[in-house]
């Protein structure tokens, strides 16, 4: 029998990354979860990531601080208001919640840890179906990063590249939720909102809240955070 393999899982504390962690665990990976405190507007998702990592049996959970707020350029780091006028502004433009190069920074950090650990894969919860239109959630972006990792790491040039795994990439939000529920994810532990109140209750109106609500409705499931959504509508 082959020994279990190790994976680094990028874990934001949101619905998608929690499901990606559950997928990795279901495949038998020993999961080391990595959360990035990048200067986001609130710390609730950091606490959610710790809860999810514990609940889903991560072997280790680390939080690393990289201050992307120092550069600005996104409403998620306090540069302007979080939009509440519909998902991705109707698809006409990349929304202000896009954080410049965020997934590239996150994947680079995960790749560095994966090499240090001797991990064989990185899992992340990016999705190119029900999302806000970010350029770093597309399949062609992941393909480009895979190529970079083959060129820029010792493992890559030795012919043992770290896999970049995005199990949710082509799933709808409803399909993601159904997958997570089947794998035992407690979505009450997660935090998806871009603009929660000081107590962590979701706003119910930002892109992420809208996508989450529609996903649960289409999945025919109850969102454990829905009551708090409604309290702020």
What pLDDT digit, counting tens, does each position of 50-59 carry?
999 999 999 9
pLDDT tens per residue, range 181-220: 999 999 999 999 999 988 889 999 999 999 999 999 999 9
Domains and CATH numbers, the chain: 6-192 (3.40.50.620)
pLDDT tens per residue, range 127-161: 998 777 899 999 999 999 999 999 999 999 999 99
By percentage, how much of the chain surpasses pLDDT 90?
Answer: 83
Which residues are within 8 A (CB) of 35 and not within 5 positions of it... i.e. 6 or more apart? 10, 11, 12, 13, 46, 49, 50, 53, 61, 62, 63, 64
SS3 (DSSP) at 230: helix
pTM: predicted TM-score of the whole model, two decimal places: 0.93
**Alpha-carbon dihedral sign for residues 121, 109, 82, 98:** negative
């Amino acid at each position: 029998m082959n020994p279990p393999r190790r994976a680094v899982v990028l874990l934001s504390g949101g619905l998608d990354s929690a499901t990606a962690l559950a997928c990795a665990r279901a495949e038998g990976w020993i999961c080391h979860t990595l959360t990035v405190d990048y200067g986001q507007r609130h710390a609730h998702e950091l606490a959610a990531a710790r809860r999810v990592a514990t609940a889903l049996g991560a072997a280790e959970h680390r939080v690393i601080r990289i201050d992307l707020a120092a550069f600005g350029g996104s409403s998620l780091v306090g540069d302007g208001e979080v939009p509440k006028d519909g998902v991705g502004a109707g698809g006409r433009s990349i929304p202000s919640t896009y954080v410049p190069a965020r997934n590239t920074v996150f994947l680079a950090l995960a790749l560095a840890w994966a090499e240090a650990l001797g991990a064989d894969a990185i899992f992340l919860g990016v999705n190119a179906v029900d999302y806000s239109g970010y350029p770093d959630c597309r399949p062609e972006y992941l393909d480009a990063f895979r190529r970079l990792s083959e060129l820029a790491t010792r493992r890559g040039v030795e012919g043992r590249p770290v896999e970049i795994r995005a199990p949710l990439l082509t799933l709808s939000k409803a399909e993601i939720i159904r997958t997570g529920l089947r794998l035992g994810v407690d979505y009450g532990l997660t935090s998806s909102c871009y603009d929660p109140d000081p107590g962590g209750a979701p706003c119910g109106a930002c892109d992420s809240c809208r996508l989450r609500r529609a996903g649960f409705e289409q999945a025919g499931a109850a969102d454990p955070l829905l009551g708090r959504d409604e309290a702020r509508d």
